[in-house]
Structure 1
Amino acid sequence: MTTIQIIDPTSSPTLREWPSALYLHIPFCPTHCHYCDFAVTVGTTSLIEQYVQYLLQEIELTPSQGQPLASVYFGGGTPSLLTPQQLERILLALDHHFHIAKTAEITLEANPGTLNKRTLTTFQHLGINRISLGVQTFDETMLKRLGRNHTVQDTYEAVDAIRRAGFTNLSLDLMFGLPEQTLANWQTSLTSALALAPEHISAYDLILEPTTPFGRAFQSGCAPLPTEEATITMYLDLI
């Protein structure tokens, strides 16, 4: 027997029931990766300031009971394209409207090639304490095939800048199941990533979204994509 619970729409949730984590989507990118089906826009950096203004309005219009936010995540897109001043305005609005807990984890997604020590130091002073770096692979040829606009050297320089700026919470994004990716290639990426001693690794199996260049060019289960068995092995190696 199914029980249906009737919720009074006029009632307000208790403070404990209010969300304590917030995701902010920054949809701007310098290029559009060949696998990406996210809501992003390319070549429109002139619209960033207008977007920030609308985002600030959205924050003010969002219901709040002053709940302390334990987690704030700037995703995208490429949030590191925002200036420190724009990020500061957003964070001040969040703290004013919701209140950000002193112990909150504040994450900024970033791509190699968009960071330097000076900017990172400013980000840290704003309260950002975690960087999620879109590495994807440590293979130069594969980076180009993915449509990424950074090099392997850019990754190493970004990690060095992140550490020199004082960040002690670093996450690296990796992808597997990629076209022409071998098990040896994947193991090299894993070894390279672990050598950088990140606090966290996010790894993603390629999904062929139909509206992307990869989705149009490749068919699941067919070369040059790895076989399902090979992809499973990659996942188990990751674990």
Structure 2
Amino acid sequence: MSFSDDEIERYARHLVLAEVGGPGQQRLKAARVGLVGMGGVGGPAALYLAAAGVGTLRLIDDDAVGLSNLQRQIAFATADVGRSKVEAGAEALGALNPHVGIEPAAERLGPDNAARLIQGCDVVLDGTDDFAARFAVNAACVAAGIPLVSGALGRWSGQVGVFTGRPCYRCLVADGPPDAETCARVGVVGALAGVVGAMAALEAIKLITGAGEPLTGRLLIYDGLAGSSRVARIAADPGCPVCGEGLQAKA
């Protein structure tokens, strides 16, 4: 896979980076990443993945841009209010890097369409704030053998984890809490979305290029108020309804 003169100049800082180089940049160009949710996490992540030269980005979101989104969802501008997030996002990403292919999917991901929506992806990045969608994309990724990068945030803290089979996201969160906090309910500082989105994009880039050690089976927890972070290891749940030991034996 060759690069144009424009691409060589555009990705120059990757090409001289020992852990990426030409082979890693080729893997990025050949990759397809599915982004579930173009909100606070997905928007910044999409910008960095497009800038990095990921060949194809599939944007999955059925929502429209709202004025309150602009405090943290930096892929959009004031003129985008009322537009489909995937359409506005595709325009912004195309302007950032015309070498990246964009596949807009204006759908709400759920159990009935998750497998279809992530089909053909090399990595899936989930930035939704809805547990039903998180559970659906996790189950679909486990079934398809696709690595899942999960990012979440609220108030002043955020988290990023990587799941590649066992343990899966349902090992971390067995059931969606009935009173789950959302940004609309409890608020969120806008810059935190950029921090978590960028970290999620970084994990996806590491998975694609083979650089470093991804957060596989681990959860990075960031406290913006304290300016601190910690990493916790996620244990596989033998009774997990998605990747539990009994299910693995049947497979």
Q: Do Structure 1 and Structure 2 share a fold, with TM-score over 0.5?
A: no
Larger Rg: 1
- Normalising by structure 2, what TM-score? 0.28
